Homo-oligomer: A and B are copies of this chain.
Amino acid sequence: MVPTSETHNWPDVSDCPVCSSISPENREAFFGGMMYKTKHYKKGDVIARQGDICKYLYILLKGAVKTEMVTETGGQLTIEVIKAQRPLASAFLFAENNRFPVDVITLEDSLVLMIPKDQVIELFQKDAAFMQRYITYNANKTQFLSHKLQVLTIKTIKGKLAHYILEQLSICHSFSPKINTFLMDKNQTELAKSFGVTRPALARTLAEIQQEGAIKAERNKITVLNKTLLQNMLS
């Protein structure tokens, strides 16, 4: 940090997929003259509530958050966990009804960059690569939501669980096709919330699947014994 006007600490967004066109060298060209702010949050803080108006592009610089919906029946549904660095609410900023459809709650101490909407539009014009990444990122979000919808329409808990286990298994297999054991990435309570079901019902079903010989479940460690059996549980 020596030479000329360089002592300003521009936000480091080098790990954000939407901002990957912004190298450390041209950060100044990007952020210089732009209005923005950063904000710290502690673990458990609420960054935004369902219904809040979304005026900024939020970029999670450090930390992690979860987004969840409170359904009109009082139940909870966890949509996703987002770890730094990623944009938050990128899709809602430009919607005509620009309100958060979810609560955004920090899981760790976090740092958030906030860029006003009109500044984002300026960026689009300045930097076509940024714009295209933004569009792609939003498109991926839509795909993700569609997939979430599809999983939610699986009626039975057994079906949802089988789907989840097969999904996790295929992630493992992409590293090593031999391994049939994995650790669940969430505890039962969280998993139940992401399915929109109750925790006891989930535990019961997990035991059932085990009893039928498709898996072995030890605490949060799952071993798949019979993949075909699992696939049949989807239907």
Within 8 A of B (CB), among A104-145: 121, 124-125, 128, 131-132, 134-136, 138-143, 145
In whole angstroms, what is the CA distance A95 to B134 when docked? 11
Q: Is the CB of A69 within 8 A of B139?
A: no
Neighbouring B residues of A159 by C-beta, 8 Å: 72-73
Choose among B128, B153, B163 the residue that contacts A69 (Cβ–Cβ < 8 A): B153
Q: Is the CB of A139 within 8 A of B72?
A: no
In whole angstroms, what is the CA distance A91 to B71 when docked? 26
Q: Is the CB of A91 within 8 A of B149?
A: no
Choose among B98, B102, B132, B153 the residue that contacts A152 (Cβ–Cβ < 8 A): B153
Please judge, given known A-B contacts A77-B153, A153-B71, whether A146 and B102 are in contact too, CB under 8 Å. Answer: yes
Q: Is A189 an interface residue (CB 8 A)?
A: no
In whole angstroms, what is the CA distance A69 to B146 when docked? 9
Q: Is A39 an interface residue (CB 8 A)?
A: no
* Min distance, Cβ A125 to any Cβ of chain B, angstroms: 7
Choose among B93, B128, B196 the residue that contacts A139 (Cβ–Cβ < 8 A): B93
Q: Is A219 an interface residue (CB 8 A)?
A: no
Q: Is the CB of A72 within 8 A of B124?
A: no
Contacts A102-B146, A135-B135 aside, 19 further interface pairs with beta carbons under 8 A come to A69-B150, A69-B153, A71-B154, A72-B154, A73-B156, A73-B234, A75-B155, A77-B153, A79-B149, A91-B138, A94-B132, A94-B139, A95-B140, A101-B147, A101-B150, A138-B138, A138-B142, A145-B146, A149-B152
Write 24 A-B pairs (CB below 8 A) sorted by A numbering: A71-B150, A71-B154, A72-B234, A73-B154, A73-B155, A74-B235, A77-B153, A93-B139, A94-B135, A94-B136, A94-B138, A95-B139, A95-B143, A101-B143, A124-B128, A124-B131, A124-B132, A125-B128, A131-B131, A135-B135, A135-B138, A142-B145, A145-B145, A155-B196
